[in-house]
Structure 1
Amino acid sequence: MSRPTCSRCQRPLGHCLCPLIPDLESRTRVLILQHPSEVGHALNTARLAALGLRNAELRVGEVFADLPQLLAQPDYRACLLFPGEEAVALTGYASKEKPLLLVVPDGTWRKARKLLHLNPSLMALPRVSLSAAAPSRYRLRKAPAEGALSTIEAITAALDVLEAPLGFDALLRPFDALIEGQIAAMGDEVFIRNHQR
């Protein structure tokens, strides 16, 4: 028997995160492309990011047939937030007049790369990356590489760069509560044994 869940944040009603989710405005438009394997994940940070930003959209799938139309918005310059040799530091985009459409793939690194491979429109976008982000607060997962962030952390860091002096740390409130709740549920001993190495 499944527990009743909040229809908005998809958390069990006793652990609803909605009171912590902000309602933030941004000049930057954020398009999150989520791999289907992430939808049911207990720590679905992409959903939290989309809920906390007015100018954000979350799409779920592997192949996005309407992606060329989504990317061809005349009021925005589209770019892909994804590291790689051809990626340029996001700081170079902060002062441009036309706001960005920041496309963010969401999934494991392998699944995110698959999204890029299956959607050639993504591969054609200019690629940007975060030059210096704070260490991840995602204490329940071992980062695959130094500087790796969860989707909500990457979006927050990107918006902090693009929309300075405005800050978007409020976006991380439900994420922090979610992490703390997961740690409390597993107990300190289990958390220390499995995640503090």
Structure 2
Amino acid sequence: MSRPRCERCLRPLTHCLCALIPRLESRHRVLLLQHPSESSHALNTARLAALGLVNAQLSVGEVFTQLPQWLAAPGYRPVLLFPGDGALPLHTLAADDSDTPLLLVVPDATWRKARKLLYLNPLLDALPKVTLRGGGVSRYRVRKAPASDALSTIEAVAQGLNALEGNDRFDALLKPFEALIDGQIAAMGVETFARNHGGG
């Protein structure tokens, strides 16, 4: 028998994170496109990001038929958060209030599946691409990452909005994420965590 779950954060009721999830206003809008394989992931940080932002939307799928309408939302300029040739550092687009705010489109998937999302949705691949400033270290301590600066989706969203709107005002997004990581470490035991992930 499965444990009762919170209908909002989808965590077991005994580990509900809703009390830690903020409701942050942002000038720029975030559109999270989640591959179905991520929606059942234990951490599901894209959902936490969407719950924590007033001006955000989460959609799960591989082919997004509503993408043309989403990208044409009046008052926003769409860009894709995805590294690659020609991608602009996001902080260089931080603009004053007279400029059109961004619609920051964020794929939530492994790198291989994110590339598949772009292939299956040519409108995504055609968007101007932006990247985050390098040098950050992920707090995702229970994941085997390809590099120390490989961020989870919620970390990428928080860092991206901080780059655009400044003052680290979106760091509060990370509170439920950090609690989730701490819970995972406690469940596996400190010794197992240290052995498998180099923690102490």
TM-score by length of 1: 0.97
Partner residue of 2:8? 8
RMSD: 1.2
Partner residue of 1:158? 160
Q: CA deviation at 1:146?
A: 4.3
Structure 2 unaligned runs (5+)? Answer: none
Matched, 1:24 2:24: yes
Q: Do 2:43 and 2:180's aligned partners in 1 also have CA atoms closer than 8 Å? A: yes
2:194 to 167, 176, 192: 192
Aligned counterparts of 1:105 and 1:180: Cα–Cα separation in 2: 25
Matched, 1:109 2:125: no
Partner residue of 1:129? 131
Q: 1:146 to 1:139 in 2, by over 3 A?
A: closer
Aligned counterparts of 2:24 and 2:135: Cα–Cα separation in 1: 21
Structure 1 unaligned runs (5+)? Answer: none
Report how many aligned residue pairs link the two structures.
197
Aligned counterparts of 1:144 and 1:123: Cα–Cα separation in 2: 23
Q: Do 2:138 and 2:148's aligned partners in 1 also have CA atoms closer than 8 Å? A: no
Q: After TM superposition, where is structure 1 displaced by more than 6 Å over at least 4 residues in a row?
A: none
Q: CA deviation at 1:14?
A: 0.5
Q: CA deviation at 1:74?
A: 2.2
Q: CA deviation at 1:85?
A: 1.7
Partner residue of 1:39? 39
Aligned counterparts of 2:173 and 2:167: Cα–Cα separation in 1: 16
Q: CA deviation at 1:165?
A: 3.1
Q: Secondary structure at the match of 1:143?
A: coil
> Per-residue CA shift, 1:68-127, capped at 9, x if unaligned?
111012200000001112211001211151100000000111111111111000011000
Q: Do 1:48 and 1:175's aligned partners in 2 also have CA atoms closer than 8 Å? A: yes
1:41-190 alignment runs, 5 A limit: 41-95=41-95, 97-165=99-167, 167-190=169-192
TM-score by length of 2: 0.95
Q: CA deviation at 1:190?
A: 1.1
Q: Which amino acid aligns with 1:86?
A: G
Q: Secondary structure at the match of 2:31?
A: strand
Q: Secondary structure at the match of 2:33?
A: strand
Aligned counterparts of 1:157 and 1:3: Cα–Cα separation in 2: 34
Aligned counterparts of 1:165 and 1:88: Cα–Cα separation in 2: 21
Q: CA deviation at 1:133?
A: 4.9
Aligned identity (percent) is 68
Q: Which amino acid aligns with 1:126?
A: P
